[in-house]
Chain A
Amino acid sequence: MYTNYLSWLLLAPILLSLAAFSARWAGKLAMRVAEVLHFITILVVLILGLLVIQGVLVEGSVVALNDWLHVDALAAVFLLIVCVVGFLVGIYSIGYIRNDVRTGELQADQVSTYYGLFDLFLFTMVLVVTANNIIMMWVAIEATTLGSTFLVGIYGHRSSLEAAWKYVIICTVGVAFALYGTVLVYSDAVNFLQRPEAAVLWTEIVKNARALDPTLLKLAFVFILIGFGTKAGIFPMHAWLPDAHSEAPSPVSALLSGVLLNCALLVIIRFAIILEQGIGPEFPQMIFLIFGSLSVVAAALFIFVQRDIKRLLAYSSVENIGLIVLAFGIGGPAGILAALLHTINHSLVKALMFCTSGNILVKYHTRDLSKIKGMLQVAPFTSFVLLVGTLALIGSPPFNIFISKFSIFSAGFFSGFPLLMVVLLLFLAIVFAAFMKMASSAVFGSLPENITKGDVRISMLAPIAVLVILVLALGLYLPPQISMLLNQAALISIHGNAAADASISLLNFSNSELPIAFLQFAQLFGR
């Protein structure tokens, strides 16, 4: 039954996306038809996605298409992000694009293209997280680039075309490195696996990881980190990210930042797991620590000099992805749980912030922070949301990122990197300062001229309100289903699969290095 859901989860969005493309021939109704089809797509993805996740909770994992699709707890965590953030941002899209059409930014016949691409993009990301075939993972990542490039450049301005061009070139070249790494792993695995066709399956490779050649594995991992790291926005391969994020329509930025980066990260983690099973965790952890710290440090410095609200948020994504990578580098149950929790939290907050920046763009017609002032008078709700989002993003209690950031740093102190943690905290203080400065100059201050008072339409506020509630709620309480998913996902990261020794739960302290108090933090007011 869950197998069917999984198949449909992939089939439905691609069919509906094609339908949305063809809505352009519906004449005057084109826009409405495309919107309806888009809504159906995101709803179907949400429902099927949640059903598949339920399947994971019940059965441990869901497979389909001859094992080519495989959703385990680790994938389920990311699938949850894809379908929930995809849904909320998708809803926000409807209001945002209508506004663009009203103001003439987009032509009515471009709307069906937009929704077709949006849903295609969503499909490719679902494919990334559900893929079990390592070549297909690569194909899916490449497909996300192709799907989203046209979304980045949809406005057709010189700057947006340039950003799209930069995006497609850098990412395709980067991902080509990853192809090399993927092929290396495959060609090594095919030597000893009895069924050659099984050598492309991640689950099979992990089972036999010890037989892989250590040197080749290390080499492959470096290629994969550079390749998919480009896509995930890890410093120094992040160059495409600020341009693409700032030029894309805001809902697309939210999707790029909140979902796409994580998807690429998942693939890197998949390969890291192969390495950990094959040659032990030291090598990938060291690489993660180096790249994670570099990303945080570099992003903090870039953040400080940004004058464009969306570029600021884009660099903040680099910083947060850096933190997640760092937490994987810290390793151990504590580090991995903190990393996964931070992944979820960051994507919610970043989606919230990019949607809010969309509202600001609608009101002020500029991303220039020196011109965005006095929001409290112009758009009270949006400015309230901006404040909440900013506080959440910089890790202020009681919002969700506080918990995951604190968990990451506790894990770092526990695992013997106190000095590194203190240094990174100093850089985070720079980020903090930059964001507080942004929020206070945007929310307060005197009103610029030519701005009509009044908040944006309710259709652009409601999805944001839901995100605010989620951000606050996850700061106070983590539902047991999610904590169970995180728990199993961490097991997969450590042991290669959760099913083999499901009896060993991380919450069962006796078997792990550290009481998993981080989850308990997350459940703060839970019981």
Chain B
Amino acid sequence: MTGLIIASILAPFLGGLLVLVIPRAWIKLFSQAVALAAAACSLLLLISFASAGKTPATVNLISLGNTVVFGLVIDRLSVLIGLAFILVGFLIVVYSTGYLSDKNREHPEKEVERRYYFFLLCFIGSMAGVVYASTMLGMLIFFELTGVCSWGLIGYYDNEKARKAALKAIIVTQAASIGLYAATAYFFAVTRSLQLSEMAGLTESAKTVIFLGVLIAGFGKSAQLPFHFWLPDAMVAPTPISAYLHAASMVKVGVYIFARCLGSANGAPKIIGVIGCVCAIATMIYGFIMYFPQKDLKKLLAYSTIAQLSYIFFALSLSVFGSTLAFNGAVAHIFNHAFAKGLFFLVAGALSYTTGTRMLPSLRGVLAKMPLVGASFAVAALAVTGVPPFNCFFSKFTIFAGGFEAAKTEPLLLILVIIAMFESIGSFAWLFWIFSSTVPGEPSEEVASATALAPSMQAVLIALAGLTLVSGFFAANWIG
């Protein structure tokens, strides 16, 4: 299993480097092959882990003296999330080969750009690194690398706005990453070890310091208040990149490291739970309010992501009060949301690819003109808002159940859980309204003149829609 993990981390990096030198004509095919290999490795890992009885293990790769500096962790959390991140990464690469072409009506591309595939592949590798790292230092290194990759990709179109957004993204997330930096250094100073497993034996006060650092870094990466403002601007990225940023990379790093530390520490001090819950609910409300003025489909989705990540933070913080259900729900939601939000963004990308716009007022009658895109839109909207039988329903349901469980010991939490439920209902109503004004009906001028969707993009939409249907069951089974 170790070999599979190392392959899924290293293959994208090496592939990314090779992209810089191989002939341009091969880049698209080669990148897909590399990403496929990584995804296959993570899938094989999942299968062999499951067949071996799901016993968690830690492999120390690089250690000197008594200090393990880098290692891999193989448990339910890392195996499941690793698969989601790498698999979505692969689908994004496939989609990109279609999207970044001269047929794109919004942003036609004449030439294959090396740096795009370089950064994208490195991004996939870094994500794998974050997920499988068993040491604080390993996590920190890959955490920082994801920032650099996202910088390269958000600024891809290389205009004033894109450069600004890219700069904003990296500066904000890196400023927040000071939290993780300090937490790692502090952790090392206290335990003289870098292994996350050492966290369980720490004193409450030491845990508080470390978790505060992790929370700050997590809030930055996952675009929570007060670090949220980089994410809506990052929309200037090519849409497949936005999809990856929102679904299975950048923003998921924050929640993942929090989940990983919570898992390693066997629970955190109560105060961390309180801070996490309150901040999450505040962000959730903010994200919800910001739905209404949005005209750009991608911006709307950005605020939806912010709110969805608050759910995950909320659930993880609830688990501090002793609710395993909430923790499981959060992990499942990381997994499920990856597919649903990925699909939603790729639908937005498909619309701008075919019609040249993604402004909501000019999009009408998508279903009539493009059945596949319209149907995918429906699946994504229903899934993201948590309608059964789509995946997010299961994880949201678990989160709320966990909330009520936690509220038994801390009655005040009940208020927060109820606020979250209202948000859930409200966002369902709003997205449904958007859906009903966009998808059915007579095609508008822009939609009527739509061009055909590239086959690779169609395939990815179908695949993601399928995954959105099944992933909920799978995640529930896997964790439960």
Contact = CB atoms under 8 A, between A and B. Distances in A.
Given A422-B182, A432-B174, 17 more contacts: A396-B144, A397-B140, A397-B144, A406-B184, A406-B185, A413-B185, A437-B171, A441-B163, A444-B155, A444-B163, A515-B65, A515-B66, A517-B69, A520-B64, A520-B65, A520-B69, A524-B62
Nearest to B157: A444
B178 A426 contact: yes
Interface in A241-275: none
Interface stretch (B186-194, B306-314, B325-333, B402-410): B186-194
Interface of B: 62-67, 69-70, 137, 140-141, 144-145, 148, 151, 155, 158, 163, 166-167, 170-171, 174-175, 178, 181-182, 184-186, 188-189, 192, 194, 209
Nearest to A526: B64
Given A429-B175, A524-B62, A440 B67 contact: no
Contacts of A409: 181-182, 185
Nearest first, the 6 A-B pairs at minimum CB distance are A520-B64, A414-B189, A413-B189, A397-B141, A517-B67, A410-B185
A314 B278 CA distance: 44
Contacts of A520: 63-65, 67, 69
B171 A440 contact: no
A293 to B, nearest CB: 16
B64 A523 contact: yes
B170 to A, nearest CB: 6
B171 A436 contact: yes
A33 to B, nearest CB: 40
Contacts of A397: 140-141, 144-145
A432 B167 CA distance: 11
A159 to B, nearest CB: 30
Interface in A408-429: 409-410, 412-414, 418, 421-422, 425-426, 428-429
A445 B141 contact: no
Contacts of A515: 65-67, 192
B142 to A, nearest CB: 8
Nearest to A405: B181
Nearest to B164: A440
Contacts of A391: 148
Interface residues of A, number: 39
A433 B189 contact: no
Question: Is chain A's interface secondary structure helix, strand, loop, or mixed overall?
Answer: helix
A421 B185 contact: yes
Interface of A: 391, 396-398, 402, 406, 409-410, 412-414, 418, 421-422, 425-426, 428-429, 432-433, 436-437, 440-441, 444-445, 507, 509, 514-517, 520-521, 523-527
Contacts of A524: 62, 69-70
Contact of A440 (B137, B144, B163, B185): B163
A292 B194 CA distance: 27
Given A410-B189, A422-B178, A521-B137, A440 B167 contact: yes
Contacts of B182: 409, 413, 418, 421-422, 425
Contact of A517 (B174, B175, B188): B188
A440 B151 contact: yes
A354 B466 CA distance: 53
B158 A445 contact: yes
B189 A425 contact: no
A79 B155 CA distance: 42
A119 B67 CA distance: 44
B378 to A, nearest CB: 38
A436 B154 CA distance: 14
Contacts of B192: 514-515, 517
A421 B66 CA distance: 25
A412 B185 contact: yes
